[in-house]
Amino acid sequence: MEPFGARLVRAMVERGPLCVGVDPHPSLLAAWGLTDSVDGLARFSDGVVAAVGDRVAVIKPQSAFFEKYGSRGIAILESTIRQCREAGALILLDVKRGDIGSTMQAYASAYLDPSSPLAVDAVTASPYLGVGSLAPLFATAVDHHAGVFVLALTSNPEGAGVQHARSADGRTVAQTVVDEISLLNAGATPLGSFGIVVGATIGRTGHELANVNGPMLAPGLGAQGGAPAGLREVFGDDLSAVLPSYSREVLGAGPDPGALRAAAERARDACAAVLRP
């Protein structure tokens, strides 16, 4: 199997630069005429994947909205992962895990080992126990040709107090995260498998992102206020590794499959116009 970075590049070329979230928030379930229940969760997730799974490069289920229903919700997450894989989309599971030692290894095995029913192509992770604490996740990703997206510069207002704090060498904590991910990707072609997460709404970051040599996930587009035209301000002139992510802007078009597909295509085309002028 090719490394995740190479598979992602190919998927973005073939299907366009777009990640669509599967976020079964209660308000979205209600907007689709569904109940906030296991049945509503299943119908929502099935509907999203059926509509766009064969058309977008990446689908990003938000694990928390499945976990809230316990074992039945996890079973639906497993089904959603299977359906995404059958549709040919890469699966980025938004779990934002971060721990140490054997616990981090257990998370890595759960999400990145193909023997697990929850195995996906890539996961999100939190580095705020130290980037080094994620070593078992990185190692497991290498073993199974998977990817990891590490939080770096998020758009939530509480994040700046930690991410912009400066270490002894003068770099911000976020820049330290970015630099360590860059080292993991050194020499990888056409793109490394370790990425960063940078909010699409944060504007000029004051950080050096050009040397990551890995994918840069940009959540927050659409209903959260971000626009494709603003990606250059966030990431600079080289946008080739940016993976724009939409959730509510696309999901809100459901439950009609045609409307969902049309919303995803509009988002994809708007991003492609900026990323590939």
Q: Of the listed 96, 164, 248, 266, which one is catalytic?
A: 96
Is 68 one of the catalytic residues?
Answer: no
CB 181 within 8 A of CB 196: yes
**Structure tokens, 148:** 């990891």
> Which residues, at least 6 apart from 214, have a Cβ–Cβ distance to it below 8 Å?
5, 181, 182, 184, 185, 188, 191, 192, 193, 194, 195, 196, 241
> Which residues, at least 6 apart from 194, have a Cβ–Cβ distance to it below 8 Å?
138, 141, 147, 148, 149, 150, 181, 184, 185, 214
In the chain, which ranges are continuous DSSP H helix?
4-15, 26-31, 38-52, 63-67, 71-87, 101-112, 135-143, 160-163, 173-184, 231-235, 248-251, 257-275
From 66, 48, 70, select the one nearest 260 (Cα to Cα): 48
CB 57 within 8 A of CB 268: no
How far apart, in whole angstroms, are the C-alpha atoms of residue 210 and residue 68? 38
CB 17 within 8 A of CB 242: yes
From 146, 143, 142, 163, select the one nearest 154 (Cα to Cα): 163
**Structure tokens, 126:** 């939190």
CB 206 within 8 A of CB 162: no
How many CB atoms are closer than 10 A to CB 74? Answer: 15
**Residues designated as active site:** 96
